[in-house]
Amino acid sequence: MSKILLITLLLASCLAAEYTKKVQLPSITFQMAEDDNFKAMQRNCQWCHSYGYILNQGKQSRKFWNKSVVKMREVYKAPITARDEKTVTDYLFKHYGNGELE
Ligand code: HEC
């Protein structure tokens, strides 16, 4: 009986615990290189996650970037056309590539 009373009191105390201070989350903008192919990036790569996911990979090979784009389509079902797959891969390799094709 006393256990039930204790649990009830504990649960009730949660109701009284209210956080009154205003919480402000930082807004981080990840700046990507802008060129003619950037539109394809905006069209395909910004509605599920921020560009931070891309920038945090560091400089990578063309194969790596192509595999990432294909993964987004095949695993996460992003509707990326074959044409945009190439444009986005070219864009990523041009600005965030390490010079290696493989
Ligand atoms: C349909 C939603 C969706 C779209 C659109 C999308 N992504 Fe992703 N992406 C994800 C998910 C889900 C993850 C994995 C998140 C995790 O593991 O925490 C991810 C992760 C990533 C990563 C981190 C490494 C990895 O492989 O997990 C990279 C790089 C990336 N995405 C690049 C891209 C690029 C480039 C595009 C545009 C061609 C794109 N994403 C579009 C859903 C998407």
The chain-wide mean pLDDT, for the chain, equals: 93
What are the sequence ranges of the domains in the chain?
Answer: 29-96
Cβ 71 under 6 angstroms from ligand 1: yes
Rounded Cα distance, 56 and 48, in Å:
16
Residue 88 CA to its chain's centroid (Å): 16
Cβ 88 under 6 angstroms from ligand 1: yes
Average pLDDT over residues 60-82: 98
Whether 11 shows a pLDDT value over 90: the answer reads no
Ligand 1 pocket: which of 39, 41, 49 to mutate (most atoms within 8 A of CB): 49
| Per-residue pLDDT tens digits for 18-66 | 778 888 888 888 999 999 999 999 999 998 999 999 999 999 999 999 9
Ligand 1 pocket: which of 53, 63, 86 to mutate (most atoms within 8 A of CB): 53
Residue 98: what pLDDT?
97
27 burial via Cβ count (<10 Å: 0-12, 13-18, 19+):
exposed
Residue 28: what pLDDT?
84
29-96 CATH, one of 2.70.98.40, 1.10.760.10, 3.40.50.2300, 3.40.50.1820: 1.10.760.10
Ligand 1, residue 71: give the atom nearest the CA: 26
Q: Secondary structure of 17-51 in the HEC alphabet?
A: CCCCCCCCCCCCCCCCCCCCCHHHHHHHHCCCCCC
Rounded Cα distance, 98 and 102, in Å:
10
